[in-house]
Amino acid sequence: MSKKIGILNSGGDCPGLNAVIASIVKLGVTMDYEFVGFERGWEGVLDPPMYMKLDSESVKGISYLGGTILKTTSKGRFAGKVGEGNTNKIPVDILGQAKRNLDDLGVEGLIVIGGDGTLSAAMQLAEHGVNIIGVPKTIDNDLNATDKTFGYSTAVSVAVDALDKIHTTATSHERTFIVECMGRGAGWITLSAGLAGGANAILLPEFDFSVDDLISHMRSRLKNQNRSTIIAIAEGARVNGSSVHAHSDHKEVRYAGVSEVLMNEIEDTSPGEFELRNVILGHTQRGGNPNAEDRTLAKRYGVAVMDAYHNGEFGKMVAVKDNEMRLCPIEEAVEEIKLVSEYVHEYTVAQRLGIFIH
């Protein structure tokens, strides 16, 4: 009899999820496995279970599509994190309910695709005796255990495309634009997009900057006849020492509006000197179809995790190091966030090119 594997994705969606799911199933059926896909994240394994049978037919033609055929949620009874760095202890009865449902469905093990919150929850379920292997997922590219997560490259492309468009209108109107990119507490998307998209200032959560210094930079650009300025700012950047966030209903930190705060701060400090506009790119960076790089990376993750499952490498997560697929304990993925430092190549290149980067 074939063994049954459950596939589950949870947390924010990410371009490339469908390509991972399709690759797992396409390879797995040739190894005589059966699959069920749990729907709406961890909620799918709880009462009442929500799942769909996955086979070669149901995953046909989905790899190039953004989003996830399994739907997802970052809320619910199984939230593995509350706020950054805080692990949420999932109640024992909820973990028990998930284990019971998996047993009743004859599911031998789970492949869990998620970021640090989802993988923290996965670890707790693994301690309850469930066979679990993880696949990292986040557009933020901030998991220390892996060099690259799928979805990141697409998010950067979206942001670069937006910056290209902003350039033309900023030039015609001789305006200063502040463009806000996603990434939570990590500046990777903003750094790569800002550099590729020709931003004149790049502001990251990892560093402090002074609004006065930024204004001096804008003035020196004016002196040199550069009458428009593009500022790429990460949503988690701090203006005068504070980040700007709201709390959503499930208490996870949600960033919103730092570009507007900075715009008001510049206007208050130098009234009328610059004509300012802000643009928040938001979820456009997570939507749409994955680009070629992310599709390929997602397929590599899919094949690697299926092989790892077949070899019984439970409690581990697939990762990329130096362009090789490898396995690491799931703990490594949730322990530490990968942040931009002043030694990162893109950061030093931006500095050498005279970009105001902090």
| Residue 74 in the binding site for ligand F6P (CB under 6 A) | yes
Angle at 226 between CA 220 and CA 231, to 5 degrees: 80
Shortest distance (Å) from residue 186 CB to ligand F6P? 8
Compute the radius of gyration of the chain from its Cα atoms.
22
Count the residues in the chain. 358
Instruction: Give the shortest CB-193-to-ligand F6P separation in angstroms.
Output: 13
Are 157 and 197 within 8 A, CB to CB?
no
Residue 140 designated active-site: yes
Residues between 139 and 168 that touch ligand F6P (CB under 6 A): 139-140
The catalytically annotated residue of 13, 116, 140, 294 is: 140
The single residue among 49, 183, 187, 205 that binds ligand F6P, judged by CB under 6 A, is 183
CA distance 281 to 169: 16
- Dihedral sign for Cα 130, 134, 139, 141, please: positive
Least spacing, CB of residue 322 vs ligand F6P, in Å: 25
Tokens of 241: 């020492």
> How far apart, in whole angstroms, are the C-alpha atoms of residue 177 and residue 277?
5
* Interface size with ligand F6P, residues (CB under 6 A): 12
Choose between 306 and 317: whose C-beta lies nearer to ligand F6P: 317
Taking the least distance from each CB to ligand F6P, the nearer of 43 and 235 is: 235
Of 33, 35, 38, 255, the residue at the interface with ligand F6P (CB under 6 A) is 255
> Toward ligand F6P, which CB reaches closer, 118 or 131?
118
Rule CB under 6 A: say whether 182 interacts with ligand F6P.
Answer: yes
ω into residue 329 within 30 of 0, thus cis? no
Nearest alpha-carbon partner for 19 in 308, 353, 337, 305 = 305
φ, ψ of residue 53 to 5 degrees: the values are -75, 135
Q: Which of 26, 40, 184, 300 binds ligand F6P (CB under 6 A)?
A: 184
* H or E element that contains 35: strand 33-38
Identified binder of ligand F6P from the candidate list 4, 227, 254, 310, rule CB under 6 A: 254
Judged by beta carbon, residue 286 or residue 358, the one nearer ligand F6P is 286
Task: Report the interface residues with ligand F6P, using CB under 6 A.
Answer: 12, 74, 138-140, 182-184, 235, 254-255, 286
Catalytic residues, which ones?
140
